[in-house]
Amino acid sequence: MITKLNKKDLLSIADLTKEEIELILNISDMIRIKHKNNELFVPLLGKCLAMIFRKPSTRTRVSFEIAMFQLGGASIYLSPNEIQLGRGETIADTARVLSRYVNGILIRTFSHQEVIEFAKNATVPVINGLTDFSHPCQVLSDLLTIKDKKKVLKGLTIAYVGDGNNVCNSWLFAAPKMEMNLRVASPKEYAPSKEVVEKSKSFAQVSKTQVLITESPEEAVKDADVIYTDVWTSMGQEEEAQKRKEIFKKYQVNSDLVYLAKKDVIVMHCLPAHRGEEITDDVMDGPHSVVFDQAENRLHAQKGILALLLNR
Ligand code: CP
Ligand code: NVA
């Protein structure tokens, strides 16, 4: 059994092995049990996480901040407009300087390359808090939620309905690694990229699972164990919102679509939701929805990630 993560940073689920993902889930669960029992557990006493957000955030920011606090450490929120990064100090220099002060750096930004550059120059762990390319912390905590609800991950079928975006990419890496089948339903022009799908299929070949890319939401959700959706317009694409609303219309997760899945299907959304667009109120607030447990698990999974990365 492994007890450590191999890499210094958490940039993409594609970099993690199945055993490492299981380790994160197990440690997160262990810390969650202590938390629910009001047991003090402070493995990060005296440690500090710097958090740089170039995009807004509710869940990621709050869950990481609270996670650091509850694990005995502290966090510092850095808005790019208020640090010299916003005035042209390079990513490399910022990463080197911050590494002299803090024990880890979380970044949410547009370009994935920027996070890679940060990690290359930082001597402390760098965590991807969402880029245009991927959202690993979200999907790791979603795996925890699915395990809570379904007991096992292996053999489950997850249907991702909507935009082939950052969250979808992280699912394309995570599902086959965890021996789950994945079906992605998107309009053709918003399907996940060929490179990501190829990588996903190469993982699926190893785990002997299925990765299906389709334009049909009905085909994707048929007899699925999990239906997952996300906004049609991600942060940074706001000017395309109107056009996307039209194109994605038939990709709405509503009760007719949920009806086609297994009777005990769970419906997930990373949030924030645009109610009435990608998901209807009755589904989001209905008996299959687990979205708020899912949001809570961000806190527990963040703790697992931090405990492992900042205590190397
Ligand atoms: N799901 C998620 O990452 O939410 P925030 O944008 O609020 O952090
Ligand atoms: N795909 C969404 C996820 C938000 C958590 C976005 O990037 O805006």
- Ligand 1 pocket mutation, candidates 57, 138, 278, 293, criterion most atoms within 8 A of CB: 57
Please report, for residues 164, 186, 259, the alpha-carbon distance to residue 267 in angstroms, rounded to integers and kept in the order given: 18, 17, 11
* Among candidate residues 280, 141, 160, the one with its CA nearest the CA of residue 224: 160
* pLDDT at 220 > cutoff 80: yes
CATH 1.25.40.80 applies to domain 13-135+296-310: no
Q: What percent of the chain has pLDDT over 90?
A: 98
Q: State the chain's mean pLDDT as an integer.
A: 97
- Ligand 1 pocket mutation, candidates 51, 53, 55, 59, criterion most atoms within 8 A of CB: 59
**What is the rounded average pLDDT of the residues 271-282?**
98
**What is the rounded average pLDDT of the residues 230-248?**
98
- C-alpha 153: how far from its chain's center? 16
HSE on the CB side for 218, CA within 13 Å?
2
- How far apart, in whole angstroms, are the C-alpha atoms of residue 54 and residue 74? 20
Which pLDDT value is given to residue 312? 74
Which pLDDT value is given to residue 16? 98
Lateral strand order in the sheet of 48-53: 74-78, 48-53, 104-108, 126-128
* Rg of the chain taking only CA atoms, in angstroms: 19
Which pLDDT value is given to residue 80? 87
Ligand 1 interacting residues, C-beta cut-off 6 A: 57-60, 130, 138, 270-272
Backbone phi, then psi, for 37, in 5-degree steps? -90, 10
- How far apart, in whole angstroms, are the C-alpha atoms of residue 304 and residue 245? 37
On the 0-12 / 13-18 / 19+ scale of CB atoms within 10 A, 58 is exposed
* pLDDT at 141 > cutoff 80: yes
Using the 8-state DSSP alphabet, how is residue 174 labeled? H
- C-alpha 197: how far from its chain's center? 17
Architecture of the domain delimited by 138-292: 3-Layer(aba) Sandwich (3.40)
The pairing of strands 104-108 and 74-78 is unpaired
How far is ligand 2, taken at its centre, from the CA of residue 235, in Å?
6
* pLDDT at 125 > cutoff 80: yes
* Among candidate residues 101, 100, 168, the one with its CA nearest the CA of residue 139: 168
* pLDDT at 117 > cutoff 90: yes
Condensed to tens digits (0 to 9), the pLDDT of residues 73-85 reads 999 999 988 899 9
Considering the chain, tell me which residue range(s) the CATH 3.40.50.1370 domain(s) occupy: 13-135+296-310, 138-292
Extract the tokens encoding 218. Answer: 């009905």
**What is the rounded average pLDDT of the residues 88-117?**
97
Using the 8-state DSSP alphabet, how is residue 57 labeled? -
Which pLDDT value is given to residue 1? 86
- Say if residues 171 and 164 touch (Cβ distance below 8 Å): no
